[in-house]
């Protein structure tokens, strides 16, 4: 019974459409061969009910509850009207083709819904938690930050967290899109929904169930289904007004020929039913959403999550792209390559104090300094009163003194020797931070790694006709120029605070009209919100960036940005083609009806045929996968 209910839920509309088709065909054959008229009428009537009951219920409910007339009810009324004057087959054909177009239109929405269900199935229902001396199975929703979960070989990881014990190959394809499992060990971050390999792991939970990367991905797909782009909202509003005009036009089609031209009621009614069919905006209504939903599904299967169909449309119009540097064009995992101490300074002690300041920082530079201190076995010092200044650096109290790690403005004095060392390292393209109390006592040089496909992504954007590529970063000028040159950017802006990035994005908007910004950090969030389209790195991005962005790259793969822009452009082309086809066919059919040159079956085939055509045209975006 449950299996039948599941089949009906998933395929009920297709089943009723098929039943409608069978009875319409049998009714036509009986009527053609001169069989009993009652039999053919009964067969047509069953076809009417099977194919039209959904639309009749939905249209009547909308009329009674919301006081709105929609095309569903118009089609049912036209079919009943045709039957009322003896044109049973004509009305039944209308019901069947209308039901078929509705079934196909629902396919794209169902495909996106299946994407959500497949994502939700990635998350296990329960987790094994270390509680006291023993283990306990608890629901994943009951996990708290700081819990230690035990993941056995072959199990799915139940929460985002950091490995505290063990090492294993982890299949992260569901989150990051990596084709092969990656080695994960103590200190590495892992994600909910990924699959553990052959090693046992103990993982400290870093985020509650509702805030994991996987949970945010599911929320983004759901949000995408619910949003409507402005053009679609306009069409839906137009459709409601236009439906009333069509009814008025049908009434006039009955009255004017009878009283002014001397037509019989049957002839006038028939012509009015043809008008009701051919003038209805079904094809126009179906010209956008199947295409947009297909694009959403296509993107989700290729690691690009649109938070709404409006952003598919917006991305197709982008003329300039601005990239954050660290964590976007680069891997965001810099490593310390040199520590230079001032006169009389102990390099290892400087590293210890710097690591103390950065111990709880989430910034990649801080993590690199802590990792280097650990690698050199520097003394571990505890700090207090940590404070981070976005785009500048971090401060904390260490051994009773206030210590800073960051840019020169954090220090009242920077000795000449350290200024020279900083200049030398920055000229080589390294990121350099100063370390000290009120006076800088040393510099730390770090170097990030360019993402393997960053330059290819920019070249692909050029081929798509993107006019301007910009690099925006809070980092210093020299490393920013090295990265910009390596990827082939047109322009670079370094040493930026978050509001500086906003200012530059506003300038780009003034010049190009439509701009995409790609970033991953807290300091990118204002620029992401300001851009026409904000794109966040999904796996490595901060919560703020993910929440602010309009599009999320699940695999942190900038190479998917050209694909996403191309998908947006293809979607816009398909929508424009669909609108032209829908309007052209509708105008031609109405004109033919006014001249009395079209029958109801021909009107049904022409009108519903155009609806089917634009629906199938939209669904073809499901097949245009990333090469």
Residue 179 reports pLDDT greater than 50: no
Find out whether 461 and 563 touch, Cβ atoms under 8 Å. no
265-291 confidence digits (pLDDT tens) = 888 888 888 888 788 777 777 788 778
Identify the active-site residue in 70, 72, 171, 324. Answer: 324
Residue with tokens 């629906």: 615
Residue 160 reports pLDDT greater than 50: yes
Query: How many percent of the chain have pLDDT more than 90?
Result: 19
Q: Which helix (H) or strand (E) covers residue 229, if one does?
A: none
Any catalytic annotation for residue 456? no
SS3 (DSSP) at 207: coil
| Mean pLDDT confidence for 98-122 | 64
141-150, 278-287, 365-374, 482-491: lowest mean pLDDT where? 278-287
Higher pLDDT, residue 558 or 218: 558
Rounded to the nearest integer, the mean pLDDT of the chain is 82
The domains of the chain are located at 2-117+224-292+570-623, 126-211, 335-447
498-509 confidence digits (pLDDT tens) = 788 889 999 999
68-72, 131-135, 155-159: lowest mean pLDDT where? 68-72
Q: With cut-offs at 50, 70 and 90, classify the pLDDT of residue 626.
A: very low
Q: With cut-offs at 50, 70 and 90, classify the pLDDT of residue 540.
A: low
Burial (CB < 10 A; 0-12, 13-18, 19+), residue 428, is: middle
Task: Name the fold adopted by 126-211.
Answer: 2.70.150
Higher pLDDT, residue 526 or 178: 526
> CA-CA distances (angstroms) from residue 577 to 38, 136, 148, 291?
44, 58, 55, 11
Residue 627 reports pLDDT greater than 50: no
118-132, 217-231, 527-541: lowest mean pLDDT where? 217-231
| Mean pLDDT confidence for 351-369 | 85
Higher pLDDT, residue 213 or 317: 317
Quote the pLDDT of residue 231. Answer: 61
Residue partners of 180: CB distance under 8 A and separation at least 6: none
Residue 340 reports pLDDT greater than 50: yes
Domain 335-447: assigned CATH number: 3.40.1110.10
Find out whether 206 and 160 touch, Cβ atoms under 8 Å. yes
Residue 5 reports pLDDT greater than 50: yes
Quote the pLDDT of residue 221. Answer: 56
Q: Which of 291, 365, 371 is nearest to 325 (CA)?
A: 365
> CA-CA distances (angstroms) from residue 415 to 44, 412, 428?
94, 10, 20
Whether the CA torsion 605, 607, 611, 613 is positive or negative: it is positive
Residue 224 reports pLDDT greater than 70: no
Q: Which of 474, 466, 459, 449 is nearest to 527 (CA)?
A: 474
Higher pLDDT, residue 399 or 176: 399
pTM listed for this prediction: 0.67
């Amino acid at each position: 019974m449950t299996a039948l209910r599941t089949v009906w839920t998933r395929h009920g509309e297709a089943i009723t459409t098929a039943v409608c088709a069978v009875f319409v065909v049998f009714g036509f054959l009986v009527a053609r061969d001169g069989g009993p008229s009652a039999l053919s009428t009964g067969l047509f009537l069953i076809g009417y009910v099977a194919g039209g009951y959904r639309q009749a219920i939905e249209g009547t409910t909308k009329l009674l509850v919301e006081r709105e007339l929609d095309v569903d009810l118009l089609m049912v009324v036209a079919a009943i009207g045709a039957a009322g004057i003896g044109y049973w087959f004509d009305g039944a054909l209308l019901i069947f083709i209308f039901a078929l177009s509705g079934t196909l239109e629902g396919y794209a929405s169902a495909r996106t819904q299946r994407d959500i269900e497949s994502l939700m199935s990635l998350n296990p229902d329960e987790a094994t938690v270390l509680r006291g001396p023993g283990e306990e199975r608890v629901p994943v929703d009951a996990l708290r930050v700081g819990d230690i979960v035990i993941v056995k070989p072959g199990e799915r990881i139940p929460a985002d967290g950091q490995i505290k014990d063990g090492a294993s190959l982890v299949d992260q394809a569901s989150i990051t899109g990596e084709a092969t499992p990656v080695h994960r060990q103590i200190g590495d971050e892992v994600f909910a929904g990924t699959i553990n390999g052959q090693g046992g792991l103990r993982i400290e939970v870093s985020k509650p169930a509702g805030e994991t990367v996987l949970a945010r991905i599911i929320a983004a797909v759901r949000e995408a289904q619910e949003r409507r782009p402005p053009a679609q909202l306009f069409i839906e509003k137009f459709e409601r007004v236009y439906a009333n005009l069509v009814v008025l036009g049908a009434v006039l089609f009955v009255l004017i020929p009878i009283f002014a031209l001397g037509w019989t009621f049957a002839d006038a009614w028939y012509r009015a039913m043809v008008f009701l069919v051919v003038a209805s905006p079904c094809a126009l209504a179906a010209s956008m959403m199947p295409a947009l939903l297909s694009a959403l599904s296509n993107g989700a299967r290729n690691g690009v999550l649109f938070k709404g169909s409006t952003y598919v449309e917006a991305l197709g119009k982008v003329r300039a792209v601005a990239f954050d540097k660290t964590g976007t064009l680069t891997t965001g995992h810099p490593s310390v390559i040199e520590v230079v101490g001032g006169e009389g300074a102990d390099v290892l002690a400087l590293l210890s104090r710097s690591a103390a300041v950065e111990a709880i920082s989430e910034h990649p530079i801080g993590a690199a300094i802590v990792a280097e201190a650990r690698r050199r076995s520097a003394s571990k010092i505890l700090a207090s009163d940590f404070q981070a200044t976005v785009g500048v650096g971090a401060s904390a109290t260490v051994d009773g003194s206030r210590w800073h790690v960051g840019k020169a403005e954090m220090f009242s004095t920077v000795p000449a020797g350290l200024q020279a060392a900083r200049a030398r390292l920055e000229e080589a393209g390294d990121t350099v931070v100063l370390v000290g109390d009120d006076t800088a006592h040393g510099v730390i040089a770090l170097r990030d790694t360019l993402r393997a496909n960053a330059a290819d992504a920019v070249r692909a954007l050029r081929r798509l006709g993107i006019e301007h590529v910009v690099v925006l970063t809070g980092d210093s000028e020299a490393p920013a120029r090295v990265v910009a040159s390596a990827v082939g950017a047109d322009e670079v802006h370094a040493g930026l605070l978050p509001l500086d990035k906003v200012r530059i994005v506003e300038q780009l908007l003034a010049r190009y009209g439509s701009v995409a910004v790609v970033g991953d950090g807290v300091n990118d969030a204002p620029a992401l919100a300001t851009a026409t389209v904000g794109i966040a790195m999904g796996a490595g991005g901060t919560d703020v960036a993910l929440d602010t962005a309009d599009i999320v790259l699940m695999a942190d793969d900038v190479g998917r940005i050209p694909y996403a822009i191309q998908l947006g452009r293809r979607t816009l082309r398909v929508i424009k083609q669909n609108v032209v086809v829908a309007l052209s066919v509708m105008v031609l059919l109405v004109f033919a009806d006014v001249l009395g040159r079209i029958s109801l079956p021909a009107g049904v085939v022409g009108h519903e045929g155009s609806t089917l055509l634009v629906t199938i045209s939209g669904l073809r975006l499901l097949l245009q996968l990333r090469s």
